[in-house]
Amino acid sequence: MKEDLVSVIIPIYNASKYLSNTIECILNQTYKNLELILLNDGSTDNSLFICNEYSAKDHRIIVIDKPNSGQGDTRNKGIEVASGKYIYFADSDDLMDLKLIETAVRGIEDNDLYVFNYYHSYVRKDGGRTNQKERDFLEGDYKIGSDKERLKFISNNFLNYGCGFEVWNRLYRADIIKNRNIRFPVFKPVIAEDVCFNLFYLMHINKLKVTNERLYYYLYRSDSSMGPDRGIVRVNQYNRLSKCLYEYLDSINYRYMISNFSVIHIKLLYHELMNMSLKDAGKELNKIEDYDFNSSRLIEARRKPLLFIEVMGFVKGIKYYFLSRYYYVKK
């Protein structure tokens, strides 16, 4: 039986030190029916040369050279040219188990999404690695048969990091992405594009499989542009993410999610506020850029204590409901 084509999309920006290892991981997969889309996002190092070298040796590789526009926009370009039945996103400086694609294709059969776990290592400047504590996912086969079940899965699993926030630890169906026009938002400054993309995708699926099998090696490097950036900057960014999702739901006329959106909004904010005292959290939210959007969602939450209990259960529902009351600070 012919294998279904899998499109592997890798955005690349100044990754020449690590890129060859990542490309080799894809080309040497046990699953062979791949197209590897390498998108050079205006790199100023040797990345484009490396891409072209590999392209000359393997017909499965497509190289796209484009002006710098950021990772999300670059991935969107990859989606446009992808022709596979499934889409997989990888980063340009990480490593993968050679059975990743084979395992994921097998796992997505009869599902709309397949999610797997990963290893997390910190790479020091001297090249040595320090393994980080691994987190187990909420493994299982999930069926989403109603709007309330979808809201419960998003609130109790996804936003609790029960299956990760990333795009590189899951295999997607290309028809859902393309038919529903799901794309990465382009945030400035960049934050949580993966979270937003996955939330868009979760609005359109009915079945997914989550496994704790670790197939990806996420390498956090000392020269990474990502780093700790807490406080009002991050709160603003997650509020912006929440608004982006809200506007998307409005654009697809998903009235149930719109009317009950306060649950998702509180969970997103709590992701950044959980290490602050309630007093400090209230002060930060009072300085938020889009105050009206945030305060409107918090006011909605105050009116729906039973919704929080129905979605999260009694103990957690009460907790998040009262957090919504504490978080609201009138200007």
pLDDT tens per residue across span 146-183:
999 999 999 999 999 999 999 999 999 999 999 999 99
Q: What is the pLDDT of residue 327?
A: 74
Confidence bin at 300 (pLDDT 50/70/90): very high
| Structure-token pair, residue 230 | 């807490």
Nearest to 196 by CA among 237, 230, 224, 233: 237
Binned at pLDDT 50, 70 and 90, residue 1 comes out as low
The pLDDT value given to residue 286: 75
What pLDDT, on a 0 to 100 scale, did the predictor assign at position 281?
78
Reported pTM:
0.93
Residue 220 has pLDDT above 50, yes or no: yes
Query: Rounded distance, CA 257 to CA 271, Å?
Result: 20
pLDDT at 133 over 80: no
The secondary element (H helix, E strand) that includes residue 215 is strand 207-221
User: Which pLDDT score, from 0 to 100, does residue 229 have?
Assistant: 45
Instruction: With beta carbons less than 8 A apart as the criterion, state whether 180 and 83 touch.
Output: no
Level-2 CATH architecture, domain 6-153+166-187+209-221: Alpha-Beta Complex (3.90)
For the segment 110-121, the average pLDDT, to the nearest whole number, is 95
Cβ partners under 8 Å of residue 126, min gap 6: none
For the chain, the domains span: 6-153+166-187+209-221, 232-327
Share of the chain above pLDDT 70, in %: 91
Beta partners for residue 66, in sequence order: 41
Cα–chain center distance at 196? 6
